[in-house]
Amino acid sequence: MSSSNYTVADLVAEFLHACGVTTAFGIVSVHNIPMLDAIGRRNAIRFVAPRGEMGGGHMADAYARVSGGLGVLITSTGPGAANAVPALVEARFAGSPLLHITGQTPTRFLDRDTGSVHDVPGQTAMLASVCKAAYRVRAAGEAFGILTRAAAEALTSPAGPVSVEIPIDLQRAPIGRPAGLDRLKLPIPAPLAPDEAALDEAAAIFAKAKRPMVWLGNGARHARAQAMMLLELGFGAVNSWNGRGIVPEDHPMTFGGLNGNGAPRIQEFYQTVDAMLVVGSRLRAHETAELSVKLPRTLVHADIDPRANGRTYPSALFVHGDAALVMEGLARRLMGRLAPDPAFAAEFRETKRRAVAEYCAGLGPYADFPWQLRRAMPRDAVFVRDVTISHTTWGNRIFPVLGPRDSVHPVGAAIGPGLPFGIGAALAAAPEGRKTVVMTGDGGFAVNLAELWTAAQERAELVIIVMNDRGYGIIKVIQNAMADGRHFAADPELPRLEPLAALAGMPFFRVAEAAAFGATVAQALAVRGPALVEVDMQAIGEIPPYPPYSTMGLYARAARGG
């Protein structure tokens, strides 16, 4: 292409490729045709066309979480950008690096409320309210600089979504090709080194500890090796629900996702822990039962975001820095100084065994589902979940996640992202030869039902498990507690799944007996491309309520030593 024919749209396509983007998601529209045409002509990026912008945004989010790179969503302006907002909200909750590029009305109409097609007054403010930042390209010459800043900001810890608006006339505007594309290096800051004195102070606290633990959050996802250094010194581990698999959760010295919420025995054990290092985690109120989970008395909190200091739980010391550098620096200082209680490891393992057994005892006919599914799935498979009662009871808490990029769920607790999450995760995992399993409820599945055809069109290596209780089971649990059992608006109808799968051209499997769950999923995993598995929960039975609405009597069993 000659320089005289090079446009801002060409720059967008080449810029994304220079950033290492190999897959992008979006819907073509009048206000982004130049950009998508440029992507198509270059043929260097796989472009996935979802059925809705919300679904596409969730796909880009999950793609980023599983690949570890930049997720990209391209939408139209106005309604198209607004449809992406739920996905941008979730990406912000989850800390996912997502670059959202949207069109805009022609510059001569900007901010004038003239009623131009797709012109929504206040779009920039709308996007800024749900993203880390939102930028508008106001002149063709500044497009390269703004894109560079936006992509870097999305990838800079704490990561998150960033939106860029490019008016349609500027997309077509000719520009000189930026020489910087040939040597593009995004200005992402180097990992922040913690203060040496703060590390010395932290080491002094833990050198006295006989029963130390580390709580790992999403901000420590890149720091498996450093976390394992602490475990080798004698630490026990636990993780947030967004920090699953940093330490493989079949390791005997991690509680995994059973972090105390709904597990009284774990909370009791915390009271015997004399110091806990919290790394890269907000200790979210949703996850800690509105901050009621009783953590160890002495907390040392380390985070890249200084706002984490004291935001939820008070800490004895805050260390500002990158998770990997904090844990490595602390481990080096503790070598030869840490002498854990000789009984600590055995008591930790026994606490885990009994807490998991107690929790499973409250799952009714689904007590063996986590283990059946784990045996059916390859060790490196990705486990994606929607917010459904199965996710809330056992998927987020006791199913063993084995890798730091093997778990995707709606951190913002939305119902509906599961299917598009699964598609995005599958497209990120498949090049590595990995399978993806998504577990959703029938209510959540219906929210983005049209994306079933995206999975079919893209031949996603994906098993879709629909836990079908024919209603919003998770909402009914809450209604039982808060609305005297009145299940108002909690019974949406869903089409029969077998003919739906046939319509989408994918294999279908049904589970009507609890013991057949794992074997059926294994059959579906053997299929190339997508497959749909329906679990008939009305045939199998209800899952008992989950904490804090549970009447399982966990605490009573724990107190009896059961």
Residue 551: inside a domain: no
Looking from the CA of 519 toward its CB, the CA atoms found within 13 Å total: 6
Q: What per-residue confidence (pLDDT) applies to 505?
A: 97
Rounded to 10 degrees, the C-alpha dihedral 207/210/215/216 comes to 60
CATH of the domain at 265: 3.40.50.1220
Q: What is the DSSP string of 529-550?
A: S-EEEEEEHHHH-PPPPPTTS-
Cβ-count burial 121-138 (b if 16+ within 10 Å, e if not): eebbebbeebbbebbbbb
| Domains contained in the chain, number | 3
Cα–Cα distances in Å, from 487 out to 363, 364, 473, 491, 492? 22, 22, 10, 8, 11
- The domain containing residue 399 runs over which residues? 362-540
Is 60 exceeded by the pLDDT of residue 560? Answer: no
CATH of the domain at 22: 3.40.50.970
Query: In whole angstroms, what is the distance from residue 285 CA to residue 292 CA?
Result: 8
Q: What is the DSSP string of 200-258?
A: HHHHHHHHT-SSEEEEE-GGGTT-HHHHHHHHHHT-EEEE-TTSTTSS-TTSTTB-TT-
CA terminus-to-terminus distance, the chain = 73
Question: Binning pLDDT at 50, 70 and 90, where does residue 432 land?
Answer: very high
Question: Binning pLDDT at 50, 70 and 90, where does residue 3 land?
Answer: low
Q: What per-residue confidence (pLDDT) applies to 473?
A: 81
Is 50 exceeded by the pLDDT of residue 561? Answer: no
Domain boundary among 338, 357, 376: 357
What are 537-541's contacts with CB under 8 Å, separation 24+? 537/467, 537/468, 537/469, 537/470, 537/473, 538/468, 538/469, 538/470, 539/512, 539/513, 540/365, 540/366, 540/511, 540/512, 540/513, 540/514, 541/364, 541/365, 541/514
Residue 122: inside a domain: yes
- For residue 275, give every residue at least 6 positions away whose Cβ sits within 8 Å of its Cβ, in sequence order, or none: 205, 206, 208, 209, 211, 212, 213, 296, 298, 299, 300
What average pLDDT score do residues 431-455 get?
A: 96
Looking from the CA of 123 toward its CB, the CA atoms found within 13 Å total: 29
Domain boundary among 303, 323, 357: 357
Say whether both 226 and 351 belong to one domain: yes
Say whether both 462 and 520 belong to one domain: yes
Residue 45: inside a domain: yes
What average pLDDT score do residues 506-514 get?
A: 98
Say whether both 300 and 408 belong to one domain: no
What average pLDDT score do residues 180-196 get?
A: 96
Query: In whole angstroms, what is the distance from residue 334 CA to residue 337 CA?
Result: 5
Is 50 exceeded by the pLDDT of residue 214? Answer: yes
- Name the token pair of 277: 């290092």
Q: What per-residue confidence (pLDDT) applies to 559?
A: 37
Looking from the CA of 85 toward its CB, the CA atoms found within 13 Å total: 14
Say whether both 337 and 220 belong to one domain: yes
Q: Is 23 left (phi over 0), alpha (psi -120 to 50) or beta?
A: beta
**Residues 330, 230: contact at Cβ < 8 Å?**
yes
Q: What per-residue confidence (pLDDT) applies to 553?
A: 38
Say whether both 353 and 404 belong to one domain: no
Paired with 47 in beta bridges are: 24
Residue 164: inside a domain: yes
Say whether both 482 and 504 belong to one domain: yes
Residue 9: inside a domain: yes
Q: Is 78 left (phi over 0), alpha (psi -120 to 50) or beta?
A: left
Say whether both 465 and 440 belong to one domain: yes
Q: What per-residue confidence (pLDDT) applies to 556?
A: 35
Is 60 exceeded by the pLDDT of residue 558? Answer: no
DSSP 174: B
Give 242-260 pLDDT, tens digit per residue.
999 999 999 999 999 999 9
Say whether both 240 and 159 belong to one domain: no
Does the CA dihedral 241-246-250-253 come out positive or negative?
Answer: negative
Torsion angles phi and psi, residue 5, rounded to 5: -100, 0
Q: What per-residue confidence (pLDDT) applies to 117?
A: 75
Residue 88: inside a domain: yes
Give 521-539 pLDDT, tens digit per residue.
999 999 999 999 999 999 9
Torsion angles phi and psi, residue 367, rounded to 5: -60, -30
Q: What per-residue confidence (pLDDT) applies to 14?
A: 98
Give 316-366 pLDDT, tens digit per residue.
999 999 999 999 999 999 999 999 999 999 999 999 999 999 999 999 999
Give 18-66 pLDDT, tens digit per residue.
999 999 999 999 999 999 999 999 999 999 999 999 999 999 999 999 9
HEC-encoded secondary structure of 434-452: CCEEEEEEHHHHHHCHHHH
Residue 265: inside a domain: yes
DSSP 382: E
Give the chain's mean pLDDT.
94
Say whether both 370 and 353 belong to one domain: no
Quick check: pTM over 0.85? Answer: yes
Q: What per-residue confidence (pLDDT) applies to 554?
A: 38
Is 50 exceeded by the pLDDT of residue 555? Answer: no
What average pLDDT score do residues 505-525 get?
A: 98
Query: In whole angstroms, what is the distance from residue 73 CA to residue 59 CA?
Result: 9
To 5 degrees, how large is the angle CA 157–CA 74–CA 128? 50
Residues in the chain: 562
Q: What per-residue confidence (pLDDT) applies to 4?
A: 63
Cα–Cα distances in Å, from 472 out to 39, 411, 451, 492? 40, 19, 20, 8
Is 80 exceeded by the pLDDT of residue 490? Answer: yes
- How crowded is residue 382: how many other Cβ atoms within 10 Å of its Cβ? 30
Query: In whole angstroms, what is the distance from residue 324 CA to residue 170 CA?
Result: 42
Residue 295: inside a domain: yes
Looking from the CA of 443 toward its CB, the CA atoms found within 13 Å total: 18
Query: In whole angstroms, what is the distance from residue 14 CA to residue 8 CA?
Result: 10
- How much of the chain exceeds pLDDT 70, in percent? 97
